[in-house]
Amino acid sequence: MNVLFLTLLDFDSIEEKNIYTDLLREFRNKGHNVYIVSPIEKRKKKHTFIIKKFGTTILKLKIGNMQKTNVQEKAEYLIGDVARMVGLSRDALRFYEKKGIINARKKDNGYRYYSEDDIYKLMYILYQRKMNTSLEEIEGLMSGGRSMESRRKRIKQRMAEEEETIRMHQQAIARLKLVQRDMDHIEESLNRYSLRRFPKAYIMGQCRDLHHGLREWFRLASTISGLDMTYFYNELTYNGRELTQHGTQLLFYKELEDQLGDAFDSFRYALTEEKMCIYTVLTSRETLPSPEMVSRMVGWGRKHGIEAGGRVYANDMTSFFDEDGATFCLELYMPVRKIVSQI
């Protein structure tokens, strides 16, 4: 952003100490381009010139001589005027006054007036608040309690905090998109059969059963933010009559890897094979499919010249609850052994 500051103050550097230069240094430290127009009176016998230093550009503009009374005279504002100007409520202005940040002066007419210095202080506060700086820290900054080096360290820390907040929001969006995708799959594939490749995912854990998987899921979720997006895939085998459970895989989809940041070491985990599978979504009162459900998948495959293997993966995509209990939407993958003819 380009910042243009017009002033009647005669100064040659923003390293000078006053409320205006403090604010300009904040703009510069945030990476903004700062341009200043400052007067140079005729009595100093200098022509207009430009100063470029400390990351700013100052145009020293030659003007006529100014009367001291005019320079020192400053406007004063009633509380309603200030509220409209800066976009704060009167209560907020009174709050800052109680904190000693601004200081209204009561005149003989009984009205309280704020100065231009108060306006600039409020502008500084609002800019800091837009960076989520706490009021306590703003008070410290305005009292001169921080050196330039400590301010730099604090800015670096605040940037890290804001980046982490952004990452948390990005993960929340990723979770919402996962739920949206699951809902799309349910609408597209409920009680329908098709061919689909098994999802590419990191195998985060191989558990004895669903209960063991739940404990491991909570452990994973506590190690790295975002691993709560890990899915449960129950692994079963089908012999033509019965289903036998062989454990639960915890799978984290590879497409979500960027959500975990540098803390996730992907080299520690194997990836699933993207095998072609008979795919469907079915509803059940149980968290595992019934032999009849799998039999229908095999029958559909046989009808279309597809020979199914004996392994089945079941993922509980979402659950619906009513007075009679829970209904589970099971996403079922059955790897194909051979495709005899094209569908």
**CA pair distance 332, 312, nearest whole angstrom:** 7
- The mean predicted confidence, pLDDT, of the chain is 85
Tell me: the pLDDT tens digits for 226-235?
Answer: 999 999 999 9
Extended strands (E) in the chain: 2-6, 33-41, 49-53, 56-63, 76-78, 105-106, 112-115, 194-197, 201-207, 231-238, 243-253, 276-284, 306-308, 311-322, 325-339
Neighbours of 182 (CB within 10 A): 18
What pLDDT score does 206 carry? 92
pLDDT of 202: 96
Report the alpha-carbon distance of residue 183 to residue 203 in Å, rounded.
23
Write the CA distances from 57 to 5, 11, 308, 341, integer angstroms.
Answer: 10, 12, 74, 75
Give the whole-angstrom CA distance, residue 113 versus residue 81: 10
Instruction: Tell me 225's DSSP state.
Output: T
| pLDDT of the residue at 293 | 95
pTM exceeding the 0.75 threshold for the entire prediction: no
**Can you read off the two tokens belonging to residue 324?**
């009679």
Specify the CATH number for 178-339; select among 3.40.50.720, 3.20.80.10, 1.10.10.10, 3.40.50.2300: 3.20.80.10
Comparing 12 with 222, which gets the higher pLDDT?
222
Residue 189, Cβ neighbours under 10 Å: how many? 18
2: pLDDT strictly greater than 80: no
* pLDDT tens digits along 260-309: 888 899 999 999 999 999 999 999 998 899 999 999 999 999 999 999 99
More confident position, 63 or 333: 333
What pLDDT score was predicted for residue 73? 47
Name which residue leads in pLDDT, 125 or 244.
244
Closest residue by Cα to residue 170 from 266, 228, 256 = 256
Domain with CATH 3.20.80.10 in the chain: 178-339
